[in-house]
Amino acid sequence: MAEVLGRRFRRYLDDRDQAGDVEGVGAEGDDEGDDEVTRSGPIDETTGRPRRFAYPPQLVVVDGGRPQVQAARRVLDSVGIDDVAVVGLAKRLEEVWLPHDEFPVLLPRTSEGLYLLQRVRDEAHRFAITFHRQRRSSAMTRSALDGIPGLGEARQAALLKHFGSVKKLRAASVDDITQVRGVGPTLAASIHAALHDGDAESTPAVNLTTGEIVD
């Protein structure tokens, strides 16, 4: 958590320094321009869009109790962030912890403030779980298709687009695989062999009449 927060707010400080501060528009002594300001700040000059980390949050909510809140506060203090509040939400009793308080704040169960904090916490969990599932799915795909000679990323993508999944690709015949653009008979045979490597060893032969395993 300390690493993630430190990286996040150091990136914010870098973007803020590149964006510049609020500067006056009017010339010195010009009464009409003294009160006018412009914030060129958080806009990326190359894309015309707001910089990703240019706007600081007003509140950081961490998932945890007093130790986690204090750790988060130390990170923000270490990079010079003193205008962002930090609280923690401990899930067991839904206690709200502040960095320098010895005891938690107990909000009513019907409190809109508590409901907001719970939604923030639950959305962070959902986002993280979805991300890790995608990473795990990608890793499983790579482990099945990577390492096959002649099968690069473009052909892997074509195969998955054609069959829809590695499971369906594994069930396909060599002739079916050759229907994919860019995959010839030799490569199709290599893919089929790689996806079925070890099938003979893992599935023993069985005599269908007696039910005995045949060596």
**What are the structural domain ranges in the chain?**
1-21+40-106, 108-143, 146-199
Distance CA 95, CA 91 (A): 7
> Is residue 180 very low, low, confident or very high in pLDDT (cuts 50, 70, 90)?
very high
- Contact predicate 147/156, CB 8 Å: no
* CA–CA distance, 32 with 98 (Å, rounded to integer): 44
Which CATH architecture describes the domain 146-199? Orthogonal Bundle (1.10)
Q: What is the mean pLDDT of residues 39-49?
A: 62
Q: pTM surpassing 0.85?
A: no
Q: What is the pLDDT of residues 93-132, one digit of tens each?
A: 899 999 999 999 999 989 999 999 999 988 988 888 888 8
Residue with tokens 């899930």: 91
Per cent of the chain over pLDDT 90 is 35
What is the pLDDT at residue 91? 80
The SS3 of residue 106 is coil
Q: How far apart are CA 65 and CA 17, in angstroms?
A: 33
Mean pLDDT of 155-167: 89
What pLDDT sits at residue 184? 92
* Confidence band of 77 (pLDDT split at 50, 70, 90): very high
Q: Please report the pLDDT score of residue 27 as a whole number.
A: 40
